[in-house]
Structure 1
Amino acid sequence: MVESHFEKATFAGGCFWCMVKPFDTYDGIESVVSGYTGGHVENPTYQEVCRETTGHVEAVQITFDPAIISYDELLEIYWQQIDPTDGGGQFADRGESYRPVIFYHSEEQRLKALASKEQLEKSHLFNHPIRVDILPAKHFYRAEEYHQDYYKKQPEHYQRYRTGSGRARFIETHWNKK
């Protein structure tokens, strides 16, 4: 029997509620946790992050088995959940705490993230530059429990939010034709 070696991947793509479900359905994903990262305040609360004073973004941290699902595959999933041309937030969510960021945990992840961003730029799928930062991972703070697995706990509200924010239509229009 081969021993599993889990790795972490951390992605910010607007509201973290909408970033959990897309990753949660794949084999090789051990967990997807909603939280805050990238800032300077220890143990931030949702309210503090929303006030834009902590430097943190809403993000998901994924624990995955690279023998089953690769980091490259996770990057592909990530890109298809966001508007990569919008660095000022995502969809209805505006501001620094909703900006898209790939946080890398190793030099290998950094290089893969840069290559995938460059590949997306060269694809000309979008008419505007790709505005997703690629930054070193910082301490990740788990969000409050009511934010965890929100799509399972509040499926009707989650779906209304995903649709009402414009995310569902953007993904359908831009990514499903890929």
Structure 2
Amino acid sequence: MTLHGEEPPAGLLLAAGEGSRLGRPKALVELDGERLVDRGVHMLRSGGCSPVLVVSGAAQIEVIGAVVVPNAEWRTGMGSSLRAGLAALPPACPAVIVALVDQPRITSAAVARLIEAYEAGARVAVATYGGKPRNPVLIGAEHFAAVAGGAAGDVGARAFLRANPGLVTHVPCDGVAAPDDIDTPGDLAEFRGQEAR
């Protein structure tokens, strides 16, 4: 429960892509012996989200501690996954934090900062790094329909955020997380090299 006595924000991990440049679905890639999908679920749960939903597509996945939401339209891009995830949230869900499976340096500390901003009154909040908005993103329930309406192709919440800058609370997450993503085998090798250090 949050400070307001209502339910905490849900967590939504978008994990449906096939990883075309990587050569396999990113959700199943392992870093330090842990699948990226499990890592993402743990990050959202540890940060304070409940429940946690995972949108799947290219790979059939089972995840402990999360509800898997299949997206039959995953080939059309991330927008369809965001729409599927928002549609699957519980009716009383007050807000959701959206994260991407291919950003393993996003941490529970970044999620917790977004929840702190939410508890202080923010209805839309975005983690920033070097002042630039990236992920994760928190969206209040009253904006779910508008966000879903702007999610198409490979655009998720970005269209809504750009159209409504006055609603957005920026939450600096420098020093506790990083938005680096794994897109190519080279990216993965670099991540693994840093994990081994």
* Relative contact order, higher structure (CA 8 A, sep 6+): 1
Same fold by TM-score, threshold 0.5 exceeded?
Answer: no
TM-score under structure 2 length normalisation: 0.29
TM-score under structure 1 length normalisation: 0.31
